[in-house]
Amino acid sequence: MKFTNGYWMLRDEMTPVYAVEYAGKRIDGNELTLYAPGKHITDRGDCLNIGMLTIRLTSPQKDIIKVSICHFEGTDAPGPIAEVTDQKPVVEITEDEESIIYQSGDLKAVICKAPAAWEIVFYDGDRRLTDTGFRNMAHMNNRSTGKNYMLEQLAIDVDETIYGLGERFTPFVKNGQIVDMWNEDGGTASEITYKNIPFYITNKGYGILTDNEGDVSYEIGSEKVERVQFSVEGERLDYYVINGKTPKGTVQKYTELTGKPALPPEWSFGLWLTTSFTTNYDEETTSSFIDGMAQRDIPLHVFHFDCYWMEAYEWCNFQWDPAVFPDPAGMLKRYHDKGLHICVWINPYIGQKSPLFAEGKKGGYLLKKTDGSIFQTDLWQPGMALVDFTNPAAVDWYQGKLKMLLDMGVDCFKTDFGERVPVKDIVYADHSDPVKMHNYYTFLYNQAVFKLLQQERGEHEAVLFARSATVGGQQFPAHWGGDCSASYSSMAETIRGGLSLACAGFGFWSHDISGFEMTAPADIYKRWSAFGLLSSHSRLHGSSSYRVPWLFDEESCDVLRKFVKLKCALMPYLYRKAVESHEEGTPMLRPMILEFPKDRSCEPLDKQYMLGDQLLAAPIFKESGDVEYYLPEGEWINLLTRQKVTGGGWKKENHDYFSLPLMVRPNTILPIGGNKEVPDYDYTEGVTFALSEFSDGAEALCEIPDASGTIVARAEARREGSRITVKVSGCTCWKCCMISGEGTVGQEENQAVIELR
């Protein structure tokens, strides 16, 4: 939202109260309160008839400073407020004649005390990160509408690039963009998105989280070119400055503040196949898909029933449509006997035709309007209402319906929607602000379902397939990228969305392989299959047509088979990266800038990514098979072709459908499992430790977890001259090799020695 007309002039309808100069302080424990009047005070008369901003600095964790700016403190600021972890760190507050310093860890805020020179500069030690100063921090009154706003403008340095703000399908680097935090069901082809996260990171290694669940508006170098502006309606604005020193470190600290992702079960990393959305299906149809995959030797691990497992107009009633599935419990058992896990589609809406509507109305479980009636709409389902998840009784009621499905044999849920949440004339059971609840609703919705799964299935068996999210939503994995189209352009925008979402610590992410809307040609299906199986979670799903590979062409079956089996074989590596995401908050699919923050060429890259810290993937977006990608310095090896490629620049290659740039980082021990059929197996049994190119003197460590995430095996390698020594513990029936094949391996019980040729 813009407030100015050029650099000097305000818009005609705006009246500002800027922070102009320091006018005093109060200290209460670790809280520093500052006062900044709206004009320079030359004599006592200037203190009258002016506005003043009250600014409070606190610190919930080391290297994090919260800034709270208020105009009128008597104005209520109702929740919801995102949950954060307060570790009550030690804070230092010092003062001299020129400044006050508020320091938490290495992060410090330096407040200028000079007359007419309001400024707060944030430092990492002595390294300047950003600042707010002249005509930046402000309260604005719109005289035309009577609305009030609070805003802040933080400096963008020369060559500083901004990333994140949730799942965004627009350009990956956000400089120059206008971004509004408002969850909507808008597909993947516009600035609208399902997952708005008011948190950004920069290549300077810090991040800013706006602590407001409402419609925060960002002007990222788009109003003042040298500033990131963020504004909210009301009399208060809160934000956190998060100093992780590097982009990856800042993402980790953000998840330490707002919550780490749970660890999904191993089986969820396999291939998911769905009925698609509006297709006609019954058990005979779904069984033909499942059996067809088995007949073609394509491993399948999860089968998903989309909306029409329930009767039309009754979404949600949580009852299998008896005309289509007369024996659901028996069917689920038959599918479990085939080794499959089962997912069913749900949403938080109750159609008027559903028997649950009357039940929810009677129990007071449905969202109400200010006149006491139930909110209803015909958008999506006729006369549908929303479950009010701020009502604990409504949560119990909703979970009870889902528990019956779990008892029947369902393993997990696709928590669709959660964005179409009304704000006008709405009252929640806990009296939350409807505008703030618009985005936060999805947190309560997914939390309710995820907690039920943890209670009923166990901590390490809970997994969702969620579409909408807000701050903290990363705790309830996994998420998928919404409704994309069957085109290369949509495949590229899907990757951009995933990379932006990763900047908010969403560790586990997926997308609809080959696109949701329309039906892709076989070419796109095959290229997208490779990308999809090189994501943390992998799902075949569409709108009006089935997504089984033989409906595209027979080669699609071969391509899908290859990459499913590759992913299963890579599970010792992938699950270790999943554990890191759970413990450290680092996403599995990572923008290049997270792994290579000092390589300036990595800053804008949005068509390639790191899968963990040791594999680089560059999906192909052309039918010709041509691909151009950037490779950081070092000697890399393509895992699929075994070709060595020297990094430090751009590469042009051509690949058939069975290959793509899948590059193993130098000095890597890549564990390759002994099972290509399933994702959940003993990763220590029959594992191959495949080594990339090692520089002389280089060392590497490889760790292998069990299903709970506990490290149960290790391999350590060191190169000295032409010899690489590998020491292994905790594995049975293992072997060692060079990915390039350029080495002779001598192997003993717990050690291998590779003589390089």
Tell me whether residue 416 is one of the annotated catalytic residues.
yes
Cα angle for residues 85, 91, 95 (degrees, 5° grid): 145
Secondary structure element (H or E) that encloses residue 288, with its range: helix 283-295
Tell me whether residue 595 is one of the annotated catalytic residues.
no
The answer to whether 593 and 203 have CB atoms below 8 angstroms apart is yes
Structure tokens at 213: 């669940």
For the CA atoms of 467, 189, 503, 534, the dihedral, rounded to the nearest 10 degrees, stands at 80
The answer to whether 484 and 490 have CB atoms below 8 angstroms apart is yes
Nearest to 556 by CA among 611, 619, 513: 513
Cα angle for residues 719, 715, 249 (degrees, 5° grid): 90
Environment class of 200 (CB within 10 Å of its CB; exposed 0-12, middle 13-18, buried 19+): buried
Cβ-based neighbours of 470, under 8 Å, separated by 6 or more: 82, 183, 195, 196, 197, 213, 439, 440, 442, 443
Instruction: Kindly report the number of other CB atoms within 10 A of residue 715's CB atom.
Output: 23
Among the listed residues 119, 419, 580, 595, the single catalytic one is 419
Q: Bridge partners of 737?
A: 690
Structure tokens at 684: 């220590």
How far apart, in whole angstroms, are the C-alpha atoms of residue 484 and residue 493? 8
Structure tokens at 612: 């963990």
Structure tokens at 431: 């009296």
Secondary structure element (H or E) that encloses residue 111, with its range: strand 107-112
The answer to whether 564 and 271 have CB atoms below 8 angstroms apart is yes
DSSP state of 260: P
Among the listed residues 152, 167, 483, 606, the single catalytic one is 483
Nearest to 67 by CA among 80, 88, 51, 53: 53
Among the listed residues 416, 580, 584, 603, the single catalytic one is 416
Tell me whether residue 483 is one of the annotated catalytic residues.
yes
**Helix 554-569 vs helix 522-533: angle between axes, to the nearest 10 degrees?**
10
The answer to whether 105 and 89 have CB atoms below 8 angstroms apart is yes
How far apart, in whole angstroms, are the C-alpha atoms of residue 680 and residue 719? 32
Nearest to 452 by CA among 437, 439, 463: 463
**Alpha carbon distances (Å) from 511 to 203, 338, 709:** 27, 25, 25
In degrees and rounded to multiples of 5, residue 742 shows phi and psi of -95, 70
What is the residue whose two structure tokens read 């965004």?
A: 168
How far apart, in whole angstroms, are the C-alpha atoms of residue 602 and residue 592? 6
Where in the sequence numbering do the catalytic residues fall? 416, 419, 483
